[in-house]
Amino acid sequence: MYPSFLRFTLTLTFIFTLLSPILCTQAPTTNLTPTTIPIAVGLHGALSFSPNSTSASVGDILEFRFFNGSAPHSVVSGPFGTPCLPGSGGFFSGYLEGNDTFSVTVTTTDPIWYYCSAHKHCQYGMVGVINPPVKAPNSTLAQYAMAAKGVAMAGAPPEVTGGVAGNGSVAASSSAVAPVKPVPTGGVGRSSIAAGGVGIWIVGGVVGAW
Ligand SMILES: [Cu+2]
């Protein structure tokens, strides 16, 4: 009944109407929560946190993302005056590696100093700060790192505390680092394949039935 070009247009409209809810679910999965602050741990095998100086508001979530390295790392908070040693009421991730995450909810705007307690990583400069003091020079990250060099042995709390450990959220955000552990299925990649299959099936069905 309809001219072929109109039939084609109607078919396309129909297909996109059907597919739009599926296509809309393909949005990027990163930064769903704007208050999440990612901090890379041991990126490219370096003994570092990146960024190592970060501003955060109360309620923000620090997401420490552990990357592959020569050894597992940790993140521990502790007072400025005793580098490489934990403080009370802080956080300790335990020893984590590729694809692990450790999320800490910020509860203060005071400076939060932190370090890695593995081996001599703290002494080698694997340190960082959240909300660095505005008034230098007495409390800078450089000074914390300098003092850390003289610490005989880093310390950590007896058990994981002050945050939530996760796994598998790192790989999608960094193509530069291959994951060590299997990434849980059910993510974007899998649903993309499913959506593509549905789309092809609908095209065939509609055109044939018209
Ligand atoms: Cu480390």
pLDDT digits (tens, 9 = 90+) for 21-70: 444 444 333 334 558 999 999 998 899 999 999 999 999 999 999 987 66
Ligand 1 centre to CA of 90 (Å) is 18
On whether residue 77 sits in a domain, the answer given is yes
Ligand 1 centre to CA of 97 (Å) is 10
Is 192 found in the same domain as 162? no
Cβ neighbours of 72 (radius 10 Å): 18
On whether residue 138 sits in a domain, the answer given is yes
* DSSP one-letter string for 79-138: -TTSTTS--TT--B--SB-TTEEEEEE---SS-EEEE--STTTTTTT-EEEES--SS-ST
Q: Looking at the 3D structure of the chain, how many domains does it have?
A: 2
> Which pLDDT does position 66 carry in this prediction?
94
The CATH number of whichever domain residue 44 belongs to comes to 2.60.40.420
Find the domain containing 122 and state its range: 36-173
Report the C-alpha dihedral over residues 107, 95, 142, 129, rounded to 10 degrees: -10
pLDDT digits (tens, 9 = 90+) for 58-95: 999 999 999 876 679 999 999 999 999 999 999 999 99
- Classify the C-alpha dihedral 164-127-39-65 as positive or negative: negative
Is 58 found in the same domain as 40? yes
CA 9 distance to own-chain centroid: 43
Ligand 1 centre to CA of 83 (Å) is 14
Ligand 1 centre to CA of 123 (Å) is 10
Ligand 1 centre to CA of 117 (Å) is 6
pLDDT digits (tens, 9 = 90+) for 120-135: 999 999 999 999 998 7
